[in-house]
Amino acid sequence: MLTTKTTKPKPAYALGDISVLYAAVLLRAAAAEGADAAGLAHRFRLDAQTLESAEARISIPHYMRLGHATITETGNRALGLRMGALSRPVDAGLAGLAGECAASAGVGLSTLIRYALLTSQNSRGLPEVQSAARKAVFYSIRPYNDYNCFVVDSVLAAWTQFLRTLTGDYGVLEKVQIEYPSQGMDELYESWFRCPVQFDAAENSLVVKADTWQQAPRQTQPAMHGAMVRQCEQQLQQVQRGWTLQQQVQYCLTPLFQGETPALGTVAAKLGLTPWTLQRRLAAEGIKYKDLVDNTRQQLAADYLRETRLSLAEVSWLLGFANPAAFHKAYKRWFSVSPGEHRKWLAGRGQGSRGPDREQI
């Protein structure tokens, strides 16, 4: 029986973290594009020991800054496609290996995505598969900018490459949808995905061809697939059992904020609880729902300002405030400094600072 260490239950950052397996793919793409991959790894504190550890993780913003630095150095705004082309099932950890030996490509992709939480915990949501529609959906990470468009590309391209590896066929998709607007490279994207690509779409997704969905992978092995899926399930349950109810609520809150404050009933429904039960169980943990909403916003606000280049208006929207003025007022209440002043101070110290701000904010 294969054995691996379990994924830690709580992200190191409010915005989430990601396995260095994905950072290694990014650095491979950097090298393939002629960039100084070793220099980038050193600059972003990714030494050989870290990159060789299957359990090591980095923050989501740290990963996005690495991608942005690579794009800046290479000049390739479609870096995510190169990352997808260089992706292998093993780069997704145990879930990738389990999917590779599934009975069909559709089951393989579903396995890969079902256990995505084992290698990536993002406060913005989780990917999902809609089997009846043969569709894989990557959650929204709006607003889009120079730091995160490549993330969407890399995920959709990696899923596509996964299907190509399983089937040995390159024409595996019917269509691709991407939320962010066209960057003027539509032909390149359609050539890479080998299907129509719609930009400025309602979601980030791909639809798999019917014959591809049913096709048996070249490495299909039912016994091994079953064994590895059981291990994935055990690890997933351990991760989820490791979360307190407060952490589960916070995980639900973040993608729901976006311009509004989520109602208690909305969050309760996502957790399969009644509003009264959620209130009672939170009270047993010593916190009220409104205070947990405020605490979650505070944690996210600190990470957004310290770890991203989003405008204050964008951060305000992502935290569910009615307007930037309300966000400004809340930030001063939390940290006794305005968000603009704090961002200027951070810029002076450098975004990689690990000084007092990391303890206070």
Query: What's the whole-number mean pLDDT along residues 69-89?
Result: 97
| Arithmetic mean of pLDDT over the chain | 90
Percent with pLDDT over 90 in the chain: 75
pLDDT at 252: 87
Q: How far apart are the first and last CA of the chain?
A: 44
Residue among 325, 356, 354 nearest 338 (CA): 325
Tell me which residue has tokens 């269509």.
175
d(CA 274, CA 280): 10
pLDDT at 124: 87
Q: What is the dihedral sign for C-alpha 38, 41, 45, 47? A: negative
Tell me which residue has tokens 């809609």.
130
Of 5 and 174, the one with more pLDDT: 174
Q: Is the confidence at residue 240, as pLDDT, over 80? A: no
What is the pLDDT confidence band of residue 309, given thresholds at 50, 70 and 90?
confident
pLDDT at 54: 82
User: For 355, what's the count of Cα atoms within 13 Å in the CB-facing half-sphere?
Assistant: 11
Burial class (CB in 10 A: 0-12, 13-18, 19+), 200: exposed
pLDDT at 70: 98
Q: Is the confidence at residue 350, as pLDDT, over 90? A: no
Sheet holding 57-59, edge to edge: 57-59, 16-19, 120-122
Token pair recorded at residue 48? 């050989």
pLDDT at 8: 38
Please state which CATH class domain 244-360 belongs to: mainly alpha
Q: How many residues does the chain have?
A: 361
pLDDT at 13: 62
d(CA 308, CA 144): 12
pTM, entire model: 0.85
Tens of pLDDT, residues 277-298: 999 999 999 999 999 999 999 9
pLDDT at 345: 87
**Rg of the chain over all Cα atoms, to the nearest angstrom:** 21
SS3 per residue for 66-130:
HHHHHHHHHCCCCHHHHHHHCCCHHHHCHHHHHHHCCCCHHHHHHHHHHCHHHCEEECCCCCEEE
Q: Is the confidence at residue 48, as pLDDT, over 80? A: yes
pLDDT at 361: 29
Of 307 and 268, the one with more pLDDT: 268
Please check whether residue 277 is in contact with residue 268, taking contact to mean a CB–CB distance below 8 angstroms. Answer: yes
pLDDT at 2: 40
Instruction: Name the segment(s) of the chain with CATH classification 1.10.10.60.
Output: 244-360
Burial class (CB in 10 A: 0-12, 13-18, 19+), 347: exposed
Tens of pLDDT, residues 100-151: 999 999 999 999 999 999 999 888 889 999 999 999 999 999 999 999 999 9
Question: For the ranges 5-9, 197-201, 237-241, 336-340, which has the lowest average pLDDT?
Answer: 5-9
Token pair recorded at residue 339? 């968000």
d(CA 120, CA 306): 20
Query: What's the whole-number mean pLDDT along residues 301-319?
Result: 89
d(CA 67, CA 58): 13
Token pair recorded at residue 25? 């793919």
Beta bridge partners of 173: 208
Beta bridge partners of 16: 122
How big is the CA angle at 61 (ends 59 and 62), to the nearest 5 degrees? 65
Query: What's the whole-number mean pLDDT along residues 84-98?
Result: 97
d(CA 298, CA 291): 10
